[in-house]
Each structure stands twice: as structure tokens, then as C-alpha cells.
Amino acid sequence: MKTLLLALTLTAPLALAQSHHTPKPDPTPTGPTVLIDTTLGRLTCKLFNETPNTTANFIALANGTKDWPDAFAKPVHNKPFYDALEFGGVSNGVVAGARFGGGIGLAGPPFPAEKSPISFDHSGLLVMKKSTPDDPNDKTALTSSSIFYVFAHSDAEHEESGTIFGQCDEASIPTITALSHALLTVDNHPTSPIAINHIFVLKPGDTTPHLSANVDPATVTPQPSPMPVDPIPAPQPTGPTATIDTTMGTLTCKLFNETPVATANFIGLANGTKDWHLPSTKALQHNRRFYDGLSFGRVIPDFMIQNADLPSDPGGDGDIGYEFSVESIPGLTFDRPGRLAYANAGPNTNQSEFFITEHPVHRLDTNYTIFGQCDDASVKLVEAIARVPRDQHNKPLKPVVIRKITIN
């Protein structure tokens, strides 16, 4: 399945030989407790001693015992780094740690990444962002000096992008969800900042402090700014209507004539008039409807729902024998809910996987072909499908099946 935003292809899990060994249980965090006070409530998280450098770095920045550079690269002494920093919404959680937004204004250079003590199949994880050097020959993973995520839901899609160094308690999950929802519903442009007030680091025996007062919005950096208005008006869909009958209801989407390749591909696969190949055997499929019987294999609240690959796809890459390029149409952006678009793993890798968005999401602009617009009732159904119980790969535990797609 092609994964939006992460630009990677999730592969099917390897079949493991049966073993009589009892699996080693995940460790319980035994490090300090941190209280992350936000403008929407408190998160209570326990840190892992198994990631000593990552944990110590976070504590020092929270306490203000580690110097960090200001906007003029001058060291700031004895001042907590995270106070008054704005959150950003991400899939299944929130992110913070850049004083000037967009990954700018970090606390310093990255450092060698440590191995996380547990996997991403847990909710409430506290994760420091991880990256690899620009040099393709250098495989050394590096941990950001200050950018961290908090995830409300387990999410294996982030396994390669972060070092887990803490676990938040169950009572914190609704607050993480509320933070993410408040940001993603407005495409990360809230009318007033959603920020960190203060982070307390508690030692054994410390009394739990009262919830910190909300920071002055004027002190929060970066300040929210309005989304730029596209000078080119968005075209209205004037093509055929796609009726997607699912086991949870019907999605109705009007297609765009402005994206002829993508629209024709979708219609041909839906009607069975376009040939394709079985990923498992490469056998040509002629006059066979592609989407009927498939399910939604990736659903993420406040983001989108995406159809799954064929069950017979051994690599999980959706390879049906051909690919086509992204069609970028002036004025046609992810500026509203209900955009119907193709998922891909790069500019020239569109095939059959489509997704439908729940909110405006401008970060996807120009990278994915929008070829349809779903109506308001369909957006409500997208919201419902996106919130069905799911596993750590964002796959519904009970399949939501596409019964049939009809083009009129």
C-alpha cells in the first residue's frame, strides 16, 4: 500500500517460523515523570531509562539546564526551551520542538539515534524525531535535538522516523486526540495558538503541581498565519459521478475532466474496461472490474481513508502492471474536505489506490492528483470510516468493503 506523506511503501509482514520461546515483554518505563501542560490540558508521561541520551536531552531542554540558540544564534541560558512552543497536528498525534516552525529553530544539532525500548504498537508514545543524513552512503540514524511527537494511537508507519523515549498514561490519550483534532480540522492554522505552557519534570517524592496557566498568545512562536489564497479559482467537477457503495454506506463523488489520465484510469478500473495485471502472477485481467470487493486498508481520523491493495498482492505495493504521473491542475488543491485523489510513492507511481480526505490538507498540494470531489454526506461517511477500530498499521479490524463502484 502506498503511504501518503511518508513517501514509502508498506510491505506485508514477514511470516515468522513458530517458536516455543516466550516473547520478551515490553519494558515498563522507570525514568522520571514529565507533565506536559498544554493549552488544552495536561499530558502525563513516564520516560524510559533505556534511551539515556534522548531522555536526558529532553529533560535538560524542559528544565532549561541546556543552552540553546536564539534567532541570532546566541546561546540562551537557564530558560526552558519548550515553554510557549506551538503544536502542529500530524496523523494520530501532535508535534512540537521548532521555535520558528517548519523544522527551523531547533535546540542544536542532532545526535546519534538510540534504539527504542518498545515498538510503535502502543498508544500514547512520546517520540523524538529521527532522520538519516543526506548522504545516501551514510546509514547513521540521527535524533533531532528538540522535535518530538506524541501519538494518541499506535502507528507502525512511524517506526523509521522516531525514537520512542516515553509512554503517556491512558488519561492523556483524550487530550492528545483533542490537540490533534483541533489542529487538523483547521489544517494547522488555529485562530489562537495551541501550545505548550510548561513541562514539569518530577523526581520521586515530588508533589504534583497545579496545571500551568495558559501562555500569553503573543509570546507563542510561530504565530498562526492565514493560509495563502490561491489567485486561480478552483475548477468545479463536471465529469461523471462515481457512486462508491460500501458496507458502511455510499460515497458519491463528482469527477474532474481537468485530470483526463487519472479520471479515465479510475473509470476504466471501476467499469472493467481497462486491462490490468494480477500482482501475484502478472496475468492479464481483461473485462474485470478492479475495485469491487476491495476494502479500505488504511483509515486515519482527521486525515483520510484509502483503499487497500488486492489480497493477492504479495509485495503490498499495488503493482498492477503500469504507472502514470501526477496531474497538477492550477487552482485544484486540497483546500476543502472530500477530495478524491490517488495515493502514490512518488511523482510517477500512480496506479489504483485512491484516498478521500476528511479536512482541508494543503500539505498534500501538488504531490497527489485530485480527480474528484465528494459531497457533504460522503465526507460524514469518511469521518465514520476513519474512526472504526484499527490496528497499528491503521487497518480496520473489521473490513470496510467496497461492494461496487458505479460510474454515471
Residue 201 and residue 111 share a domain: yes
Q: Return the pLDDT at 101.
A: 78
Within-domain flag for 314: yes
Residue that finishes a domain, picked among 168, 193, 219? 219
C-alpha separations of 63 from 172, 222, 405 in Å: 21, 21, 56
Task: Check: CB of residue 270 under 8 Å from CB of residue 254.
Answer: no
Task: Pick the more confident residue, 169 or 140.
Answer: 169
Give CA–CA dist 370/257, Å, rounded: 11
Q: Are residues 126 and 205 in the same domain?
A: yes
User: How do residues 13-62 score in pLDDT, each as one tens digit?
Assistant: 333 333 344 556 778 999 999 999 999 999 999 999 999 999 999 999 99
Cα separation values, 225 from 38, 85, 131, 186, 366, Å: 20, 15, 28, 12, 21
Q: pTM for the full model?
A: 0.90
pLDDT at position 199 over 50: yes
Residues 249 and 380 in one domain: yes
Q: Are residues 106 and 150 in the same domain?
A: yes
Type of residue numbered 329: I
C-alpha cell read off for 145: 535535538
Query: What pLDDT was estimated at residue 229?
Result: 74
Structural domain for 236, as ranges? 232-407
In this structure, the answer to whether residues 180 and 248 fall within a common structural domain is: no
* CATH number, position 193: 2.40.100.10
Q: Do 315 and 288 have their domain in common?
A: yes
Kindly report, residue by residue over 323-361, the tens digit of the pLDDT: 999 999 999 999 999 999 999 988 889 999 999 999 999
113 and 186 in a single domain? The answer is yes
**Are 125 and 166 a contacting pair, CB within 8 Å?**
yes
